[in-house]
Structure 1
């Protein structure tokens, strides 16, 4: 699979950064609209349509609007939280595309948060993906790099 990984040091404690990323509402702030991606629905594992945080089984439905055109066939994308672990010095969660409900043949995004001490947190995004028809060629990497650059920069601005 193609892979894109990036990391940033955030000058905020790990609990603050984890709470920010674990809040379902903050995902809306972290999703740049200029990429044509928007959050349509978030459902907790119990069907709750407004979960306060992500747990294993939470599903997030996004809509892709390439060139600003909404409602095109095949533009809905659903990911599910499949792993979540919280420790005193680190935390992570993983989202994967649900079956064929999205633009990828395979999508796995690991979000890691590591306490570096001194009020600093290492924020790591690790994405493995496969696109239809092109296999493991990293064609989506520029868009992923732009999205994650935006997220990490916004995280610094809001939390530091």
Structure 2
């Protein structure tokens, strides 16, 4: 069973700037410094585009994790999607939306759907442990995006 995590933030920057920051691998790794997360892109570029893959390595719950995602949809500056191609989840889809609020402000919406392995036990662990953890990670990353955009 899939679980949904959604985080909505307002950023004091134009949608194109926020969109570009979200696709910047360096900005991502800076935001995830606490978990020692690193990222390697299939293209070798720092900013991801449609079809690119990125492999993340990090420590979460005291365990080293590796996950590869592909940018499966991209409509600059309004929306992009990354989906796990290899990793710890049975499935993971992360949708990113950017709404122009006018006055140089953007509503940024992170909508992540995850399905864990291990049947009913995995579903319970996902809802009780993983969803709150992912919400904290997405909230931390949104705060970092707000800070970088304001600089």
Q: TM-score range by the shorter chain?
A: 0.7 to 0.9
User: What's the TM-score once normalised by structure 1's chain length?
Assistant: 0.80
Pairs aligned (count): 144
What secondary structure sits across from 1:140 in the alignment? helix
State the Cα distance separating 1:94 from its structure 2 match. 0.6
2:132 pairs with 1:145: no
Question: Does the aligned pair in 1 maintain the 2:22–2:145 contact within 8 Å?
Answer: no
Q: CA deviation at 1:22?
A: 2.5
TM-score scaled by length of structure 2: 0.84
Partner of 1:41 in structure 2? 40
Query: Unpaired segments of 5 or more residues in structure 2?
Result: none
- Cα deviation for residue 14 of structure 1 reads 1.2
Q: Shift of residue 135 of structure 1? A: 3.5
Answer yes or no: is the 8 Å Cα contact 1:21–1:27 preserved in 2.
Answer: yes
Is 1:135 aligned to residue 137 of structure 2? no
Mapped to 2, the partners of 1:54 and 1:26 lie a distance apart of: 12
**Contact between 1:39 and 1:60, CA under 8 Å: does it hold in 2?**
no
Per-residue deviation at 1:37?
5.4
Deviations 1:1-33 (CA, angstroms, capped at 9, x unpaired): 100111011111112212222323222223x23
> Which consecutive residues of structure 1, in runs of 5 or more, have no partner in the other structure?
45-49
Decide whether the 8 Å contact of 1:105 with 1:132 is kept in 2.
yes
Residue 124 of structure 1 aligns to a residue whose secondary structure is strand
The whole-number CA distance in structure 2 between the counterparts of 1:16 and 1:122 is: 12
Flag the 1:66–1:126 CA change in 2: closer, same or farther, 3 A.
closer
**Which structure shows the higher helix fraction?**
2
